């Protein structure tokens, strides 16, 4: 069966501020030593499995230019621009409608644009296996990552090990980000996986779920589909998206549908969730520093240092993140990396959006 | 007797790098909230005592433009430019020759351009008293600061409390920067003062000492004096200065001459010796930070933050110095402030003098 993919690239992630900005969010940044952006890596990674003309990128209209620039080989009509962000359900619905218009039916891989898969061949094998399961009946398959520590920033999936399809297990239920105590229980129980936010299904399977479980969204998507290629395409898209509720695919479909399977997957998944990820993706030097830019470091240890041409001298620093850009500079203790969002709140309150 | 002053402004102090640079050393920087530069403050402070046309500024030829710009009321011919830096003895000799050319004899205050005197009226009273002592015989007077902690970065003056002139004591001997144990002994003994590097004497008194104790320098200075106002002025100055040994006035004269007096002085002297001085000259905010520039601070305490227009966000920082300029940025732990010179050594070794 034809394999297609929707790479979701509409996020506005703020945790790499100030390297990430509203006009260039995380997926469009290079955060690995190869110089490629996360979006480029996300597409490159599946190319042996899916033809470039069958890959769709769902993004915000503001980022069309970035996607074109970073993926010059992608057919322009495969850049699906949401006029407003409405979370993942409308984005995935839009992708499914575009694919359904071209193919009787097809497999659809729904992938994130801003995560890493360290072991790409294993990742592709996992996707192939997920495709096998998704081809049967109307199964919806999600990839679950075996937790190796009690992370409180991810959603979890409780699986039922007694019902399986190949290596995948039936999903018992999804859970939102737990508190630390709960996360520790999950880890001990060995019955929970991290929710990777990646899905594999037939287009027909997901569309029938939209019809059953999100009928209003489905009706709007049908109107959008009917307008594709007509002169009212843009107007219809804008009109319908404005009406859509902001709902995640997890909440709108996955938590309510039947025949949901989770495939435990270990392909070196990394959500690249904060500046601390740089220490996983880059070699550290003999002082434990990750250095990109024009730095002179004196007695500086275990720092993440990112700059440009400007000369940056660090003296006596430990465990800091330094990120210099043209008009903004961040200096942040690693322990406080999650407080970068407070800087952005402050900028928002003070209406200094030019720095966001 | 006529009062004249020589303000020495030839230093290349590196401890305020990168705010200070080779082309704009410390004395030309504003390090106080009033926005005036240290040089401007040094001149302003003595104006009630010395007429502007009797104030001379000794500096390096490179800084003539800066002095003119910062002291527009100073007669241009009072900017005495050394073609090469040769420490304080030649600088003071040059000043004395210029003053001697205009006045039969005069009092000469030799002052630093890059220190602060918090209590300017007390400072002027001290200078007036020093002038009284200097007018007697050929006394050379230096200002000594009663130490309040065992500083190892200053020179000390041992005085003999049994021989005095007014409030000044006869100098027993000068000592170089001591080690900590010695500095503690000095502090306990109450017979030592910090060497402020400021001197008061008659021009005739210091010139006679040059003649006795530094005859080669004196001969050169006489040739320079003879050329003042002639077409060979610049050539003679360059030729003679190139021959001069680099010698401090302390070593060349003060340690060897007789009739040296030290006047214990408490006028809030501050050598503004490092970035830490900002905490003495500026109010700290409720988090203990000194902030000049466009900063957003989150959980940031006891930091010295200096920038310009660029937005700088600090998160979770403690006890750091951050100094941002157009092309260079310094981030330094307060404990390591003395290691800023290692950055400059590194730049020198790598021949990156454009950043120095």
Mean pLDDT calculated for residue range A17-37: 95
B240 CB burial (10 A radius; 0-12, 13-18, 19+): buried
A310 CB near a chain B CB, below 8 Å? yes
Please judge whether B329 and A336 are an interchain contact, meaning their C-beta atoms are less than 8 angstroms apart.
Answer: no
B333 CB near a chain A CB, below 8 Å? yes
List Cβ<8 Å contacts ≥24 apart for A17-21: A17/A328, A17/A330, A17/A340, A17/A343, A17/A344, A17/A356, A18/A323, A18/A325, A18/A328, A18/A329, A18/A330, A18/A355, A18/B311, A18/B313, A19/A306, A19/A323, A19/A325, A21/A356
Mean pLDDT calculated for residue range A106-115: 97
Cα Rg for chain B, rounded, in angstroms?
21
- Which of A119, A146, A116 lies closest to A40, judged by CA? A116
pLDDT value at position B99?
98
Residue pLDDT, tens place only, A222-281: 999 999 999 999 999 999 999 999 999 999 999 999 999 999 999 999 999 999 999 999
Q: Whole-angstrom Cα distance, residue A87 to residue A298?
A: 45
Q: Whole-angstrom Cα distance, residue B115 to residue B72?
A: 21
Q: How confident is the model at residue A324 (pLDDT cuts 50, 70, 90)?
A: very high
Report the residue of chain A nearest B340, measured CA to CA: A315
A108 CB near a chain B CB, below 8 Å? no
Q: Which residues of A touch B348 (CB under 8 A)?
A: none
Least CB–CB distance from A315: residue in B312, B313, B339: B339
Q: Which residues of A touch B335 (CB under 8 A)?
A: 316
Q: Whole-angstrom Cα distance, residue B281 to residue B131?
A: 29
B322 CB near a chain A CB, below 8 Å? yes
A339 CB near a chain B CB, below 8 Å? yes
Q: Which residues of A touch B331 (CB under 8 A)?
A: 312-315, 317, 320, 322, 331
pLDDT at position B150 over 90? yes
Residue B63 distance to chain A (closest CA, Å): 25
Residue pLDDT, tens place only, B301-350: 999 999 999 999 999 999 999 999 999 999 999 999 999 999 999 999 99
Q: Whole-angstrom Cα distance, residue B105 to residue B94?
A: 15
pLDDT value at position B321?
98
B311 CB near a chain A CB, below 8 Å? yes
What is the interface pTM, i.e. ipTM, of the complex? Answer: 0.89
Mean pLDDT calculated for residue range B240-261: 96
Residue pLDDT, tens place only, B176-229: 999 999 999 999 999 999 999 999 999 999 999 999 999 999 999 999 999 999
pLDDT value at position A13?
81
Disruptive mutation site among A294, A311, A312 for chain B (greatest number of B CBs within 10 Å): A311
pLDDT value at position B73?
98
- Which of B89, B115, B94 lies closest to B196, judged by CA? B115
Please judge whether B316 and A299 are an interchain contact, meaning their C-beta atoms are less than 8 angstroms apart.
Answer: no
Q: Whole-angstrom Cα distance, residue B160 to residue B173?
A: 9
Report the residue of chain A nearest B316, measured CA to CA: A333
Q: Whole-angstrom Cα distance, residue A57 to residue A229?
A: 18
pLDDT value at position B14?
87
Structure tokens at A14: 């703020």
Residue pLDDT, tens place only, B37-88: 999 999 999 999 999 999 999 999 999 999 999 999 999 999 999 999 999 9
For A283, phi then psi, to 5°, come to: -70, 140
Mean pLDDT calculated for residue range B164-171: 95
pLDDT at position A293 over 90? yes
Least CB–CB distance from A315: residue in B298, B343, B352: B343
Residue pLDDT, tens place only, B4-43: 999 999 998 889 999 999 999 999 999 999 999 999 999 9
pLDDT value at position B64?
97
Q: Which residues of B touch A353 (CB under 8 A)?
A: none
Please judge whether B328 and A322 are an interchain contact, meaning their C-beta atoms are less than 8 angstroms apart.
Answer: no
Chain pair A-B, CB pairs under 8 angstroms: 116
Residue pLDDT, tens place only, B99-146: 999 999 999 999 999 999 999 999 999 999 999 999 999 999 999 999
A122 CB near a chain B CB, below 8 Å? no
Q: Which residues of A touch B313 (CB under 8 A)?
A: 18, 328-332, 340, 343
B339 CB near a chain A CB, below 8 Å? yes
pLDDT value at position A46?
98
pLDDT value at position B12?
87
Please judge whether B332 and A314 are an interchain contact, meaning their C-beta atoms are less than 8 angstroms apart.
Answer: yes
Residue pLDDT, tens place only, A50-79: 999 999 999 999 999 999 999 999 999 999
Mean pLDDT calculated for residue range B268-276: 94
- Which of A95, A104, A110, A109 lies closest to A228, judged by CA? A95
pLDDT value at position B274?
93
Residue B344, CB-side half-sphere exposure with 13 Å CA sphere: 17
A289 CB near a chain B CB, below 8 Å? no
Q: Whole-angstrom Cα distance, residue A91 to residue A59?
A: 8
A263, containing H or E segment: strand A260-264
Q: Where are the beta strands (DSSP E) in B95-139?
A: 107-112, 116-117
Token match 């930070």: residue?
B289
pLDDT at position B156 over 90? yes
Cβ atoms of residues A169 and A163 within 8 Å: yes
Q: Whole-angstrom Cα distance, residue B16 to residue B56?
A: 25
């Amino acid at each position: 069966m034809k394999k297609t993919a929707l790479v979701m690239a509409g996020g506005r992630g703020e945790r790499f501020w100030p390297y990430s900005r509203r006009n260039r969010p995380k997926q469009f940044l290079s955060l690995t030593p190869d110089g490629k952006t996360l979006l480029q890596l996300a597409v490159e990674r599946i190319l042996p499995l899916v033809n470039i003309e069958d890959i769709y990128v769902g993004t915000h209209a503001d980022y069309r230019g970035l996607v074109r620039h970073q993926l010059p080989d992608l057919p322009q009509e495969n850049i699906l621009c949401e006029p407003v962000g409405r979370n993942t359900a409308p984005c995935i619905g839009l992708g499914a409608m575009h694919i359904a218009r071209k193919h009787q039916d097809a497999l659809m891989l729904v992938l994130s644009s801003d995560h890493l898969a360290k072991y790409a061949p294993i990742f592709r094998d996992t996707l192939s296996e997920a495709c096998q399961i998704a081809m049967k009946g109307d199964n919806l398959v999600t990839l679950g990552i075996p937790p190796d520590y009690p992370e409180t920033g991810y959603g979890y999936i409780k699986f039922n090990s007694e019902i399986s399809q190949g290596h995948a297990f039936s999903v018992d239920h999804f859970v939102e980000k737990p508190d630390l105590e709960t996360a520790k229980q999950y880890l001990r129980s060995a019955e929970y996986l991290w929710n990777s936010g990646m899905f594999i299904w037939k287009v027909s399977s997901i569309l029938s779920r939209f019809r059953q479980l999100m009928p209003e969204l489905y009706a709007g998507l049908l109107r959008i589909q009917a307008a594709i290629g007509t002169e009212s395409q843009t107007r219809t898209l804008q009109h319908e998206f404005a009406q859509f509720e902001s709902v995640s695919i997890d909440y709108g479909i996955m938590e309510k549908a039947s025949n949901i399977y989770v495939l435990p997957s270990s392909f070196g998944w990394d959500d690249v969730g904060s500046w601390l990820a740089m220490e996983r993706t880059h070699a550290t030097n003999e002082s434990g520093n990750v250095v990109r830019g024009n730095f002179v470091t004196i007695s500086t240890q275990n720092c993440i240092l990112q700059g440009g041409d400007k000369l940056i001298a660090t003296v006596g620093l430990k465990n800091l993140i330094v990120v210099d850009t043209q008009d903004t500079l961040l200096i942040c203790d690693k322990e406080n990396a999650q407080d970068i969002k407070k800087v952005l709140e402050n900028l928002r309150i003070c209406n200094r959006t030019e720095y966001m």
